[in-house]
Homo-oligomer: A and B are copies of this chain.
């Protein structure tokens, strides 16, 4: 590829995301804390998580402050920002940028809850108040 500047696009991989997700839950956090959180669900080898933390640091997605022997990690990217970007990317790739067809898919496969519908109605009301 040959990339001179270091302003790469930094895609976050599947496993890297899971680590970031664990960090978002509460930060700053040490590697051990993150490992504990992750191991409540599946089993991650300590070494694997450490590798993923390093890769996230290199990608400038998280950073840390040295604390005695261990590090205190914290995210550099906000969850909402990340979610926003990923959502738009998917909606753009799969539904030509319109979000309604995505929701339609959920509706047609009965993946729409009453809670969702209520929130959607509220969102729409807000939207209509704002836009004219």
Contact = CB atoms under 8 A, between A and B. Distances in A.
Identical chains bound together, number:
2
B123 A104 contact: yes
Interface string A93-131: 111011111111111010111111101110110111001
Interface of A is mostly: helix
A37 to B, nearest CB: 16
A80 interface: yes
A67 interface: no
Interface residues of A, number: 41
A121 B124 contact: yes
Given A90-B90, A97-B111, A99-B103, 6 more contacts: A17-B93, A84-B109, A87-B90, A88-B106, A88-B111, A124-B124
